[in-house]
Amino acid sequence: MKFNNPTGSIVAMITPFHEDGSVNFDVLTHLLERQIAAGTDAILTLGTTGEYPTMSHEEDASVVAHTIKVVNGRVPVIVGSGSNCTATQVEKSIEYQNMGADALLLIAPYYNKANPEGMYRHFAETADRVNIPCLLYNVPGRTGCSIPVSVVEKLSRHPNICGIKEASGDMSYAMKIAHCVGPDFALYSGNDDITLPLMSIGGSGVISVFANVCPDVCRQIVADYAGGHQDRALETHLKYLELMNDLFIEVNPIPVKSAMNMMGLNVGPMRLPLCEMSEAHQAVLRAALKEAGLL
């Protein structure tokens, strides 16, 4: 399916594991079908929420292949192919393109970081080597660096870079890149709590953690706002805001996987260095789920 900058809710999928840590493909199938049944507009696999840093390259590829097979063209599949090594990012991007990915999510180089020119080349080199659309991923809380506004401006004119997942939570930064938004460059919120503010400055929707828990609600919020029912969208958004925030009470994806297990979705454990939530935070999350009518 062609990725055509969809407006809506794009779920940042968790990766379910068996108790021994291996990927649980049966549960993954169920979760993908659950998303499609709820009307989710696109699927992102191997994002931060998918725990890809703890998975081998072979496991990454097997999750991508399974996701593409199950989705079977019903919605676009975006694959996180990012790396702090540009050559690795290019290699993975080409592989996932050849496997049938509809678009790629490319992260800013973490740990080694880069100056603005190196940052630009990191993304442009990858986008030059593939034939499917690429989304930038700005998440300085994970990478230790933000994509400079000047680099976003320059990359927004690249013919194969179609948008950005903006997950800094910095509305001032979002405002500075909002003028880049147009038919060929989309802005997606990477933070559930500010989806509507980003849509108010031209955003197309959200790449969502919350959608793992409430895919139908997440899609409805974005659809209502985009459809001119801003008051209804805001009412629903505020109703679930506490739960959205509690899904980040510890480092993602610990809370969302814990919530899904509480809901009986049996997504299994995290992989170290991620581990189970504290008992106090489990109580907070369980209360939020109960308040939202999900237990």
Tens-place pLDDT, residues 20-36: 999 999 999 999 999 99
The reported pLDDT for the residue numbered 5 is 85
Mean pLDDT calculated for residue range 155-160: 96
Tens-place pLDDT, residues 224-261: 999 999 999 999 999 999 999 999 999 999 999 999 99
Burial of 152 (0-12, 13-18, 19+ CB in 10 A): buried
The model's pTM: 0.96
Please list, in sequence order, all residues whose beta carbon lies within 8 angstroms of the beta carbon of residue 47, skipping any fewer than 6 positions away.
Answer: 12, 13, 80, 105, 137, 207
- Whether residue 240 lies in the annotated active site: no
Active-site residue, from 165, 188, 240, 257: 165
- Whether residue 92 lies in the annotated active site: no
Does residue 2 carry a pLDDT above 80? no
**Which is nearest to 44 in space by CA: 170, 215, 161?**
215
**Which is nearest to 163 in space by CA: 138, 184, 189, 178?**
184
Tens-place pLDDT, residues 251-287: 999 999 999 999 999 999 999 999 999 999 999 999 9
d(CA 269, CA 274): 9
Tens-place pLDDT, residues 34-81: 999 999 999 999 999 999 999 999 999 999 999 999 999 999 999 999
Active-site residue, from 137, 173, 188, 225: 137
